[in-house]
Amino acid sequence: MASLTIRKLDDAVKTYLRLRSAKNHRSVEEEVRVILRELIEGREEPLTPFAVPYAAPTPQRTGALPEASVTLIIGGGIAAYKSLDLIRRLKERRIEVRCVLTKAAQQFVTPLAASALSHERVYTDLFDPQSEFDAGHIRLARDCDLIVVAPATADLMAKMANGHADDLASAILLATNRKVLLAPAMNPLMWSNAATRRNVAQLQRDGVVLIGPNAGEMAEAGEAGTGRMSEAIEIANAAERLLRPPTPKPLAGKRVLITAGPTHEAIDPVRYIANRSSGKQGFAIAAAAQAAGAEVTLVSGPVDLDDPPGVTVKHVESARQMLEQVEAALPADVAIFAAAVADWRVANEGEQKLKKTAAGMPPLQLVENPDILATISKLTDKRPRLVIGFAAETEHLIDNAKAKFARKGCDWIVANDVSPATGVMGGDRNTVHLLSRKTGAQDGEIAVDSWPAMTKEQVAIELVAQIAKSVTGKSLESAS
């Protein structure tokens, strides 16, 4: 199997992978695997001209791809029957399961039962010509996101602690570079035995994660104590926590204010001046900031979008109403002005619907709207620590954005080309350039960081990551 060195990919691909994986809460490596799987499943020709020893991933009932995969090693203990329920619990959580049964495990549950529940081939032998033609034990060890051992017998833990590899289960455990979750199950005397204590301590030092055992009645008549395997649901939850750790919240405790969408400037009660902004970029930023733990207020002009969950949304029509709501939402730690605010409004707005007259067209006088970005950037008392403006330009993008930067007094400008050919206005993708002052620059020298074309959600995630780094010093990856 070819291996891929992420470092050697070009920058645009690396950024795309980094953003896509962050969005899906996967590692970059996992994301590459999902992309390859999607590609392969979309092929019209058969996957291979010959039979492969591994079953193709089971199609999900929903049509969605499984998001994670587990190699489940079932050891030879009485609790093995609970592992059949564990297969079901993992699959409910959209975790693909491949089972390995030890020789002793097959005295308690059959490979057929595990196969029927997992919808996958079950593996039992190290020396299996069918799976070993391409080092199947190595693939079972690594071609998964997590290894779960349930029940983890005293014997399996002893082998693991001492690096034995004389059967398929122990060879997989020795060959893996994945996290391992053990659910021990044994008689209380076996659990408290000095040899087991030593093995458990060694395994914990090696970074293996344990769940249980619980205290309670044992299968043996009249025996009670610590040694019962955790319930299937507890093990499945522990596996899910390892596979999908909670999203980092680097902006927890921070207040973020965002504007989005166009403004409508009334001509009369039924007509208005507007622009083509859809609000998608601002809404995506609000959702990403909320996901990063911020308390978010979104002041939105008229848009056709659902309010992002967990965000306080103030709906407005005109630039003046937008400024009013922005001021009401202060103080904030960060303000991001993504709205396409109309520069002008009609000074002589009609109180009634304007009528066609013989005298010709009604004269519309325009007057300048308040400049929300400049107003907030120049505040002295309630100025947010980080003020970010958007520059939507149709020509001389960087030059115009630099000029805007100098005029407005904000900290960063996100410049995007909104000329019709780009499809940015109203579209789902964006190509942006982040302008900021060069560190230590004397004369306001501006740094321009150009990002590759991405979806507006990806732009939002990357922007929020940059904000988190700037405001808290924490990156999305390192925060917890």
Ligand X SMILES: Cc1cc2nc3c(=O)[nH]c(=O)nc-3n(C[C@H](O)[C@H](O)[C@H](O)COP(=O)(O)O)c2cc1C
Question: What are the residues binding ligand X (CB under 6 A)?
Answer: 75-79, 102, 104-105, 151, 153-156, 185-186, 190
CA angle 129, 162, 229 (to 5 degrees): 85
Structure tokens at 124: 């039992």
Closest CA to 206 of 155, 157, 151: 157
Q: How far is the CB of 53 from ligand X (least distance, A)?
A: 23
Please pick, among 199, 214, 275, 430, the residue that the annotation labels catalytic.
Answer: 275
Least distance to ligand X, CB of residue 167, Å: 6
For residue 261, give the nearest of 224, 306, 217 by alpha carbon: 306
- Nearer Cβ to ligand X (1/194): 194
In the complex, least distance from residue 11 CB atom to ligand X, rounded to whole angstroms = 48
Sign of the torsion angle spanned by Cα atoms 28, 29, 33, 36: positive
Q: Is 162 a catalytic residue?
A: no
Cβ nearer to ligand X, comparing 202 with 436 = 202
CB atoms near residue 413 (< 10 Å): 27
Residue 237 beta carbon to ligand X: minimum distance, rounded to whole angstroms: 22
Residue 169: CB minimum distance to ligand X, A: 6
Neighbouring-strand partners of residue 152: 184
* 277 contacts 339 by C-beta, under 8 angstroms: yes
Query: Within 13 Å of residue 177, how many CA atoms lie on the same side as its CB?
Result: 4
Q: Which amino acid is at 21?
A: S
Decide if 433 contacts 398 (C-beta within 8 A).
yes
Alpha-carbon span 202 to 208, nearest angstrom: 9
Q: Quote the least distance from Cβ 298 to ligand X, whole Å.
A: 55
In angstroms, the CA 291 to CA 252 distance is 9
Q: Report the alpha-carbon distance of residue 227 to residue 350 in Å, rounded.
A: 81
Q: Which is nearer to ligand X, 105 or 338 (CB)?
A: 105
Beta-carbon neighbour count of residue 81 at 10 Å?
Answer: 14
The minimum distance between CB 71 and ligand X, in angstroms, equals 15
Give the per-residue SS3 of 3-28. CCCHHHCCHHHHHHHHHHHHHCCCCH
Nearer to ligand X, 146 or 218 (CB): 218
As given in the structure block, the two tokens for residue 408 are 């407005």
Find, among 413, 455, 456, 458, the residue nearest to 433 by Cα.
413
What is the C-alpha separation between 206 and 201, in angstroms, rounded? Answer: 9
Task: Let me know: does 257 contact 329? Beta carbons within 8 Å.
Answer: yes
Residues designated as active site: 275
